[in-house]
Chain A
Amino acid sequence: MIRWHKSATLRMALAYTACLTLGVMGLWGGAFWTMRHAFQQQLDVDLDDEADRLLAEFRKGSTPALVGAVGSRVRLNTSDELIYALYDRKGEEIAGNLPHPRPRPGKYTMQFEDRDEGLDTIRVVARDVPGGLLLLVAADSERMDRIDRRMETSFVGALLGVLALGLLGAFLFARLLHDKLGRIALQAYAVADGAVSARMPVSDRGDEFDHLAASLNHMLARIEALIANLRLVSGALAHDLRTPLTRLRQRIEDAADACQEGRVQDELDRATREVEDVLGLFGAILQLSEVEGGGALQMQPFDVAELADRVAETYEPAFAEDGRRLGWLVEPGMNIVGSSSLIAQSLSNLLENASRHTPVGSEVEITLASGNGEVLLSVRDNGAGIDSADRARALERFVRLDAARSTPGFGLGLPLVDAVARRHGGWLELADARPGLRATMHLPCRGVSNGA
């Protein structure tokens, strides 16, 4: 689906069409002006020649010859193409067919009131004739107007043609680009969602798009290699560091078994718990890297509502025992495709955060709702909340906001929830619940229908 009003390619193509149209208009304007000018010059030359011929009559036979020549010209000139007039020194028209008082001499365009056609425009050549006479030869501008009109018609036709072709081209061009870029964007989303081995389609034409796709593919190959390398290193780290830690823990267990003295046994138990904490942190880092790194997850359809109920029931007694209230409002039958284990862990992280960072007597509520193709799984408390300035930082690894310094934790709980939400194509939203914090996992349904 193309959103035309937001299409950059359409904008570019339209701008191109506009430029082309302006160009055609400029070209036509220039041609029109030049042709008109040339035509007028030719007309002036014709009028001058005619005036010269009439003056030659005058030189041969003085005024009567000129009057006769003008009179015969008017009679012979049936098509009304040329207009003649001869005025005497008093301004009277003594021959000719122009119903107009004596004008000034020269070469110009003037208007007069025609008996038949009303106001008419003519091109005039008027010359003084010895003896105070004025000879006028003129041409009706209708001839030029006719040519103008014909040129205008052809111009409008050509312009409409250019516009239509341009617009059609613009839409086709936009659609083509949209399809090409859309395929690339789709693949990019797939990669962002963890399909790191996905590649852009490259045709064998070798055009700009193929160059772009090829360079993106090169980048993806490099990223994939780096991720693989990172996973190898972290896997090796997990093995190499956990083995000595396991041994340390075994030694402590052995020592605790061998030792009969209660006080030493207590100390050894405490040491075991310390080791367990280190191992727990290690496991949390590895798991977070795993989720963020895009390792293959077991994505299966499951009912989030069932999961939310189960986790809520599980935590309710622990909350009650600590003096907090846990409620839940779960819309039944809400299927998504994902890792139920990770979603359960995320919800559990959110609940533990809510219980850890709120005073005794607080109320915590789980809600599960759907809308806009998303499942919204949220945990709200009525504690102190997180300042809006700190919310983005709360999602960073190992960041523990000042208010949380005194409580236990690694600072990996929210980053994991965020990473899990993003691996499912969604996101984690932290919002002010006035009072308190509302943490919402937005999980897209991905075309899986809400089972009844």
Chain B
Amino acid sequence: MKLMVLVAQLGWMYLGYALPLIVVISLVYAATRHEDLKAIFRHAVGCATWIVGLMVVVGLIMALVSAWL
């Protein structure tokens, strides 16, 4: 049981490596759509929210499927 908790904690730690990627991908994607910095940042926030939301949805589906199996 302790091992499973440790593995789960490590999994959460690994998610931290996604943060810089989400930030940079959102900014670069938004920068290819706009020229104005305010518009870029506004679009990047929406894009990052969308990515995180999708990750949460996929994670929940995976958790449900793994609990069911």
Q: Please say whether chains A and B are actual partners in one complex.
A: no
Residues of A within 8 A of B (CB): none
Residues of B within 8 A of A (CB): none
